[in-house]
Amino acid sequence: MSYKKIKEIDEQSLKNYRFTRLFGMTARHIENYIYKLLQPYGLGFEQTRMLFLLSCRKDLQLNDIVKESLKDKTTISRAISSLEKKGFITKTHSHRDKRIVYINITQEGKDKLQELTDSTIFSEAESIFTNALTTEEQEIFKQCLTKILKGML
């Protein structure tokens, strides 16, 4: 469903949607919007998340990234391959056990993250919320999301 079609749906129809449907639809549109913001930088949504994760921690293994990202191995493996081809990460085999592969961000990957941080991407992504919600509504929304997340953990 395109953004224009959502605009055409009247508010009453949206009120009748289940939480899961409305949240899922909203999340997909937000992710798509962010994906479009990232395109000029040659990165996807998952790749960007992975670079941020790798910038905070060293010597992560595939399973560590899968657990942290809550994504399946196939999605993460594909993102790792793409980031490695771009020179943003390296994969190194353990000296003790060649089956173990450590994944680390390169200087080029750090530079790309800095480029993103210096850009307006994150403020543009935040504007989805700041333009649609008052300051008070933003705080309430954060509290609600936090409460839901805590209930799931």
Cβ atoms of residues 83 and 51 within 8 Å: yes
Does residue 104 share a domain with residue 50?
Answer: yes
Domain enclosing residue 57, as ranges: 46-108
* Residue-level pLDDT at 51: 96
Residues 84 and 50 grouped into a single domain: yes
Residue 120 is assigned to a structural domain of this protein: no
Tokens of 67: 């657990």
The string of DSSP letters for 15-52 reads HTS-HHHHHHHHHHHHHHHHHHHHGGGT--HHHHHHHH
d(CA 20, CA 61): 32
Q: What is the pLDDT of residues 128-149, one digit of tens each?
A: 999 999 999 999 999 999 999 8
60 and 97 belong to one structural domain: yes
Does residue 36 form part of some domain? yes
pTM of the model as a whole: 0.77
The encoded tokens of residue 59 equal 């010597």
Give the residue carrying structure tokens 């994906």: 35
Instruction: Give a yes or no: residue 141 inside a domain.
Output: no
Q: Are 23 and 68 found together in one domain?
A: no
